[in-house]
Structure 1
Amino acid sequence: MEETSAISMELVLAALIALAVLLLLGWYILNSKIKALASDVETLKKERDGLLVRLNASEEKIAAVPAAQGIAAAATAEPAEPAVGEVPENTAEKPLQPAGEEAEDTKDIPSDSEIPPEVVAVIMAAVAACGYNPAAIRSIRRDTARTHQNHGWVMAGRLAGMR
């Protein structure tokens, strides 16, 4: 009986030593990963600061150009694109129209060749963000059948809890 208890005590001691070694090894690995992530964060902060400096410099250049060219040149210049989260001025002036007038708007829709490249870029970025290859897009065209909605998709959205 004493032999089995001595063997079991040796096994328990070996297991405790192995556990201590594994804990030290895990601590070392996690500590090194945390240090690597901290250095990556510092690198990203420096890059962000550099980008902010470049952004401020470009904004100062843009603000200086109309002042140097005069008011007449500023009036003929194209308006700058709105920043993210900023509402463009032309959308605030457009009155809302009733749902019955949607059919009249389809006449004003430009053809497929008139889709702005910014819209195509946004669509391709959304496809890439979803994990698909943007090269898989064959064509991008406007939906000209705006007079009727696809009620199946509307119901699927309602059932999924979307509003």
Structure 2
Amino acid sequence: MDETTFMYVEIVLAVLAVAAFAFAVTVLTLIRRLNGLHSELAALKSRYDASEMKEPGKIAALPEGKGKEPVKRAELAPLGERKPAVVPAPSAAVAADGVEPEVVAAVMAAVTACGYMPTAIRPVRQRKRQNKRWLLAGRLAGMR
């Protein structure tokens, strides 16, 4: 073999040795961090267990307000007497072909009731083919 080939092999081996050393250092660093995290976890568990031993049955609760009246809840009407809530919907310009304005109003009211802004709704239209020649070429080639 030629001397330049041996020189390239030596360079490649040197680069591989440096990469292996860097990998080993990284692995050892990560192992040390993992061991440190395990020791922190053990310390936290022991502190948690010690705090539970001191106060075994204590459950965290919201403090009660002193001198305040309880919140009154609204009574519901019987099922047959309930009326649906009417939500006024803002009027919007409609440019739909073949759709009745009442249908559009009902859809817009439902969308507004769900919490969407009516201006965020965009019409969906069929996209036109960009290049009819490619479509024809695909059909001639037997593609779908």
TM range (shorter): 0.3 to 0.5
Question: Relative to total residues, which structure has the larger helix share, 1 or 2?
Answer: 1
- Structure of higher RCO (CA pairs closer than 8 Å, 6+ residues apart): 1
Q: What is the TM-score with the length of structure 1 in the denominator?
A: 0.38
Q: What is the TM-score with the length of structure 2 in the denominator?
A: 0.42
